[in-house]
Amino acid sequence: MALESGPVTDPTATARHATTERRTARFVLTGIALAFLALFLVLPLVSVFVEAFRKGPTEYLAAFSEPDAQAAIRLTLLVASIAVPLNVVFGVVAAWAIAKFEFKGKAFLTTLIDLPFSVSPVISGLVYVLLFSSQSALGPWLKSQGIEILFAVPGIVLATMFVTFPFVARELIPLMQEQGTTDEEAALSLGANGWQTFWHVTLPNIKWGLLYGVLLCNARAMGEFGAVSVVSGHIRGLTNTMPLHVEILYNEYNFVAAFAVASLLALLALVTLVLKTLLELRYGAELRAVGGH
C-alpha cells in the first residue's frame, strides 16, 4: 500500500486520462451515438404509435374490429404456433447432435444451419414457389391429390420455418459446446438412460438459452414479410398475415388502420426486447456463450 500512495496530485486522474478520452470528447461521442440511435431507431418506432392514434382511439380500435384484421391476427398466431415449436425441436436436437458428439463435417453442418440467414427473404419464398408451383414436378401431382401448399396456409408455414430455421439452433450450439459433456457423462454413469439424461440434465442447463432463442424465433416468425409475401397469394381474410395486412391497408391509403395493426407488431417487438434484456441481465453469465445474429 505504501508504494502505491505516490505523488501528491491525484494519481487516478492521470491514470484515467491515459486510457479514456477527454471529458469533451466523451460528451461529443455519447451525443453522436444517442442522436444517431434516436433519429434512426427510436423515431420510426414512435411514429408508428403516433400515426396509429392520429385520428383518436376510436379509429384506432376500429381497425381491429374489421374481420380481415382479425383473420390476419389469427393466421399470424397460427403460423407462429406451428413454425416455432417445430424449429425449437429441430434447434434442440441439432445443437445436441453438434455439441455433444464428434463427427466429420461438423463445421460444414453448422454453416448449412446458418444458411437461411444469408438468403434474401424473397428468395426463401421463391424456392417454395419453384418447388410447389403448377410448373414444377410436384405441383400437378399435389393438385390432383387436392393438396394446396402454395398460396395457402401450408406454404406460409413452410416459408416461415425456412427464415426462422437457425434461431434456436444457433443460440444453443455455442452454449452446449461450452457446457461440454461432463454432466451428461456423470448422469449416464449413474444409470440414467439417454432420454432421462436429456430431460433432467441437459434441458435444465440450457433452459434460459432456449427461451432466448424461442423469443427471437417467435419475433421473426410473427413479423416475417418478404418470404411470406411471395408464397401467400395475398387472399384477404385467408392467407394474409399481420405484416401482409399492414401492406394492403397501407397501399389502400388506409394509414390509420395500417399503423394500428403495425402498432400491435411494434408492441410485440418491444415485449421481445424487454424479455430479452431481462434474460441477459438475469442470466447473462449463462448466456455469455450466445453470439449475435
Partner 1 sequence: MALGFTLAYLALIVLIPLTGLVLRSASLGFPGFWHVATDPRTVNALKISFGTSLIAAVINVIFGIIVAWVLVRYRFPGRRIVDAIVDLPFALPTAVAGIALTALYSKNGWIGRWLDLIGIKVAFTPIGITIALIFIGLPFVVRTVQPVMEEIRKEVEEAAATLGANRFQTITRVLLPGLQPAILTGFALAFARAVGEYGSVIFIAGNLPYVSEIAPLLIVIRLEEFDYAGATAIATIMLLISFFMLFVINLIQAWSRRRYGYGA
Near partner 1 in 46-105, by CB under 8 A:
47-48, 51, 90, 93-94, 96-98, 101, 103
- Chain positions 136 to 175 lying near partner 1, rule: CB under 8 A, are 136, 158, 161-162, 165
Between 247 and 286, name the residue whose CB sits nearer to partner 1: 247
Using the rule CB under 8 A, is 120 a contact of partner 1? yes
3-state secondary structure of 169: helix
Exposure of 51 in the CB half-sphere (CA atoms within 13 A) = 20
Using an 8 Å Cβ cutoff, are 239 and 213 in contact?
Answer: no
Among 11, 26, 55, 235, binds partner 1 (CB under 8 A): 26
Residue 254: all three cell numbers together:
388506409
Find the part of the chain contacting partner 1 (CB under 8 A) among 3-11, 59-67, 171-179, 268-276: 268-276
Q: C-beta of 145: minimal distance to partner 1 in Å?
A: 18
Question: Interface with partner 1 includes 246 (CB under 8 A)?
Answer: yes
71 or 231: whose CB is closer to partner 1?
231
DSSP string, 97-137: HHHH---TTHHHHHHHHHGGGGS-HHHHHHHHHHHHSTTSS
Measured between alpha carbons, how far is 68 from 158 in angstroms, rounded to an integer?
22
CB 233 within 8 A of CB 239: yes
User: Between residue 170 and residue 199, which ones bind partner 1 under the rule CB under 8 A?
Assistant: none
Provide the minimum distance between the beta carbon of 38 and partner 1 in the complex, in angstroms, as a whole number.
9
Please count the residues of the chain.
293
